[in-house]
Amino acid sequence: MLEQYFHIEFDPERTLQDQIREFIVNLILTGGLPLDEPLPSSRHLSKMLGVSRNTIVLIYESLVDSGFIEARSRKGFFVNHTFHNTEALSTNLVQEENASSPDWSARFQKQPSNEINIVKPYDWQKFEYPFIYGQVQKDFFPLEQWRDCVRKSMSGQWNKYWINDLVDSDDPLLIEQIRTRLLPRRGIYVESSEILITIGTQNSLYLLANLLCNQTTKVALENPGFRDALNIFSLFNAKIHRQPIDQHGLIVNDDLKTCDYLYVTPSTQVPTGVELSKERRQRLLNLSTKHDCIIIEDDYDAEVNMKHNPQPALKALDKNNRVIYIGSMSKSISPGLRVGFMVADEELITEVRALRRLMYRHPPVNIQRQLSLFLSLGYHDTYLRKLRVINASKLQRINAAIDRHLPNMRTSEHVSAGATSVWLKAPEHVNTEEVAWLAAQSSILMEPGAVHFTAENPPQNYFRLGFSAIESHKIEPGIAALKNVFDHFI
Amino acid sequence: MLEQYFHIEFDPERTLQDQIREFIVNLILTGGLPLDEPLPSSRHLSKMLGVSRNTIVLIYESLVDSGFIEARSRKGFFVNHTFHNTEALSTNLVQEENASSPDWSARFQKQPSNEINIVKPYDWQKFEYPFIYGQVQKDFFPLEQWRDCVRKSMSGQWNKYWINDLVDSDDPLLIEQIRTRLLPRRGIYVESSEILITIGTQNSLYLLANLLCNQTTKVALENPGFRDALNIFSLFNAKIHRQPIDQHGLIVNDDLKTCDYLYVTPSTQVPTGVELSKERRQRLLNLSTKHDCIIIEDDYDAEVNMKHNPQPALKALDKNNRVIYIGSMSKSISPGLRVGFMVADEELITEVRALRRLMYRHPPVNIQRQLSLFLSLGYHDTYLRKLRVINASKLQRINAAIDRHLPNMRTSEHVSAGATSVWLKAPEHVNTEEVAWLAAQSSILMEPGAVHFTAENPPQNYFRLGFSAIESHKIEPGIAALKNVFDHFI
């Protein structure tokens, strides 16, 4: 009798049927059940586990369908011997006596784990006041609409399209949606051959750095700026030029002339949230033409911009293919899906595509197909509209709360209407990393700002508060609680 | 009256409801409908389009829900002005007169598009006899089971888990399934911290080459061997050593001593399909320990091996962490999903993980979660068992057909029981690239073999016939038809 094997601790949040099936499959595959004894009868097992007999019958039937077990007449259910996996693989080769492990550190050409990174706690959702940047508030995710797209992508004509290897191409439906739906909204009109799907913004930058940079390449980054861009370009040994920013975004002056690439976040500067002024945009484009620089425009966040008539992308004004435009679905749908795109001169896209083929061939087809439906059925637009309203209200709330509790820490009045964070400045002597540690003890998550400065010896008194993941009604009490933490330092 | 806008050409393979909704959303978002006129009544539109009125009512309701249109009492439905997007973005910046496009070719540090690649026609499914390698036969894909996993991943406790950015981590459930379910079958027992999820085998190799190679690094590749491995290691300027193979796989001799990395496909050699003998495995491991080489074991295909007691992985015999093991779900589930994994010394995995964080953070969370359910519920095992039976029968059929029609083109008798292709040799003077062109005209897809040789001046008379994508009953007539094509050359 095999009853002794059947002790299951049930997880109340999953269906009993799934858990029992999983348990039995596991017993079978690990060789835990003998071949010559019948499984407990459904009546018996249902009593043992306190589960309805019908459930057990359904599970046994599905296991027969899957071939894990077989029915023998009048004897009951038995493990199918082809799934019974007790034979140990023969591993009787003899290793040399003087064996030794490799010296990995001598082999690494680079040690990316040593880089300074933005640290985001894995368990940020357990914080009462998660002022974290780049995550989303789940309650608003249009789960029903997404489910609908997933269902459609797996049925009818598209049934199994997505199980194929596309080699180096992309889902043509998604390219078309980006071309005709997303890009015109930023003022961009291009051909399909000028668009490439990537696994997010970082992946776009990585592909570009890998293709375009060596130790003689000079790349201008905003300071403070996007830390991951610094890490990526440094990985390919590019020389980094750090260009300061002010309330109107990147300062455009002759210091940029000698740079091969100018990485900018014009729509919503990372991390300060300011918008690049129209006059600066003009100067930047002129400079790039005159001095043969390429602009890498990271338009992250632009689609959640709340203004009715936002500034068009730099790419929209670019007549000479000097702008490489990178966008992402992280903000406007979800960062977990990992989908981004790049728009550039076809000549460049051809090479990036060939490089992508080597790097990972193409982003997963099923996600591309689901996304193209999400766009074509208008779900994305509806969600964006909702997000814009929510973000506008949250921005108002956080501004009011800061005016009340931390009025002296403001850094800028010109935050972009697409910003989902605010950038603040504590008094000079305050180290915001220490503040963050103490804040965490009060269940407040905030981001120290030093990591966003690309130069050595960064100021320690800046910090960022993201508001895309925190619930609206938590913003005011969260800022009030943060003020109490700051009081220990000021 | 807006009737003139409503001309839709219906695709018979999609639902009318989706197509009409998509059409109206598109009209609204492109500013194609004026704000001050009502949409056609449901009665009117249903007549115009020849669609039931009920369908139109449902569509209008869903558009109201999404906010695209609004009902005004007694006047009908109107476009919601917040979605009406006619304002052109102001793009009135002036570009310099002497503008010019960049000289991209001078900027490329590498030109991956010039590499020789295995060419797979995008439309391979239209071939009557697709002897293509690395794609799957859709009819057998367990769509119902996959749908079940997708549904479960989006409901209950896992509801929205997958919309989060995991930064540099992976779904712990998938890691656990790989650790306890997949790896023990290959004789491998490791900790979670020794496993990393990647976007397929190529991505694993890319990460390794990027981390470990510079121009002084020497990498041994099998010749003939996996072309993409050659392209990837070359991209990072590694010196390539080409090691010949024979009927027992890679020849292990002192020529390998000076290599830093030995890339091998022991389970099923690419492209010949032979299995590395036990004696060679022993010598390879000894050599790697004695001369401080690292083995990169590509175990691609091993899980569809039809033998009851296959050889364990090299990694299973590795006591000193000298083997980096890379696996993939391409063969055993689908190449379109793009999921692979790497198993190695924790010290190495830590660095690869940090590099992956820069390259694309992590593979999409939803796919990881769906896959972990597919494994834990036993669906993967059932599918593998089916695939093994199908492949065994197909291998038998193709061998019989070759014996009958192309008996002199055999190259090896020791093809691995996990092979999904055969490797053949035409008479010396035959160029199989020319054969392939002519074969395509008879709707036969075959792969010329020259691309798999990593040295210059490769022999032109080899070719590969994959049988994972072609239907069983097409194999015999396909080989017979191929024989007719060859008759033009011999």
- Is A23 within 8 Å of chain B by CB? no
Residues facing residue A297 across a β-bridge: A264, A325
Lowest mean pLDDT across A4-8, A49-53, B34-38, B436-440: A4-8
Of A169, A181, A334, the CB nearest to B29: A181
- Is B307 within 8 Å of chain A by CB? no
Smallest Cα distance from B65 to chain A, Å: 9
Of B162, B289, B381, the CB nearest to A99: B289
Residues B329, B356 contacting (CB under 8 angstroms): no
pLDDT at B280 over 90: yes
B337/A364 Cβ within 8 A: yes
Residues of B in contact with A81 (CB under 8 A): none
Of A68, A337, A382, the CB nearest to B67: A382
**Average pLDDT of chain B?**
88
- The count of other CB atoms within 10 Å of the CB of residue A429 is 9
* More confident position, B382 or B482: B482
Smallest Cα distance from B490 to chain A, Å: 33
A289/B320 Cβ within 8 A: no
Residues A21, A64 contacting (CB under 8 angstroms): no
Mutation site, B213, B216, B366, interface A, largest A CB count within 10 A: B366
Residue of chain B minimizing CA distance to A351? B113
- Is B281 within 8 Å of chain A by CB? yes
Percent pLDDT > 70 in chain A is 93
Tens digits of residue pLDDT in B78-131: 888 777 654 545 555 555 555 678 888 888 888 888 877 767 777 888 899 999
Of A21, A156, A358, the CB nearest to B13: A156
- Is B469 within 8 Å of chain A by CB? no
- CATH class of the domain defined by B165-377: alpha beta
DSSP three-state, residue B325: strand
B376/A165 Cβ within 8 A: no
Helix segments in A254-364, DSSP class H: 278-290, 346-360
- Is A137 within 8 Å of chain B by CB? no
Residues A227, A298 contacting (CB under 8 angstroms): no
A162/B382 Cβ within 8 A: no
Residues A447, A131 contacting (CB under 8 angstroms): yes
Per-residue confidence (pLDDT) for residue B82, from 0 to 100: 73
Residues of A in contact with B333 (CB under 8 A): 163
Per-residue confidence (pLDDT) for residue A85, from 0 to 100: 59
B93/A281 Cβ within 8 A: yes
Angle separating helix axes A143-153 and A379-405, nearest 10 degrees: 150
Smallest Cα distance from B59 to chain A, Å: 11
Residues ≥6 apart with Cβ < 8 Å to B73: none
Lowest mean pLDDT across A13-22, A441-450, B186-195, B438-447: A13-22
Per-residue confidence (pLDDT) for residue B29, from 0 to 100: 78
Tens digits of residue pLDDT in B167-177: 889 999 999 99
Mutation site, B69, B165, B205, interface A, largest A CB count within 10 A: B165
- CATH number of the domain located at residue range(s) A113-139+382-487 in this protein: 3.90.1150.10
- CATH class of the domain defined by A142-377: alpha beta
> How do the pLDDT tens digits run along chain A, 490 residues long?
677 777 788 887 778 888 888 888 888 877 777 888 888 888 988 888 888 999 999 999 888 888 888 888 888 898 887 776 545 455 555 555 556 788 888 888 888 888 777 677 778 888 999 999 888 887 888 889 999 999 988 887 667 777 788 888 999 999 999 998 889 888 899 999 999 999 999 999 999 999 999 999 999 999 999 999 999 999 999 999 999 999 999 999 999 999 999 999 999 999 999 999 999 999 999 999 999 999 999 998 777 776 656 788 999 988 889 999 999 988 788 888 899 999 999 999 999 999 999 999 999 999 999 999 999 999 998 888 888 888 889 999 999 999 999 999 988 766 777 788 999 999 999 999 999 999 999 999 999 999 999 778 899 999 999 999 999 999 999 999 999 999 999 8
Q: Was domain B3-83 assigned CATH 3.30.420.10? A: no
Lowest mean pLDDT across A84-88, A135-139, B215-219, B245-249: A84-88
- CATH class of the domain defined by B117-139+382-487: alpha beta
Tens digits of residue pLDDT in B54-64: 999 999 988 88
Smallest Cα distance from B140 to chain A, Å: 11
- Is B137 within 8 Å of chain A by CB? no
Per domain, the residue ranges of chain B are 3-83, 117-139+382-487, 165-377
Q: How confident is the model at residue B307 (pLDDT cuts 50, 70, 90)?
A: low
Tens digits of residue pLDDT in A269-315: 999 999 999 999 999 999 999 999 999 999 987 777 766 567 889 99
DSSP three-state, residue B243: strand
- Is A322 within 8 Å of chain B by CB? yes
Residue of chain A minimizing CA distance to B199? A360
C-alpha pair distances (Å), B438 with each of B131, B384, B394, B487? 14, 35, 25, 11
- Is B68 within 8 Å of chain A by CB? yes
A98/B29 Cβ within 8 A: no
Residues of B in contact with A98 (CB under 8 A): 289-290
Smallest Cα distance from A162 to chain B, Å: 6
C-alpha pair distances (Å), A249 with each of A271, A281, A284, A414, B432? 11, 10, 11, 10, 59
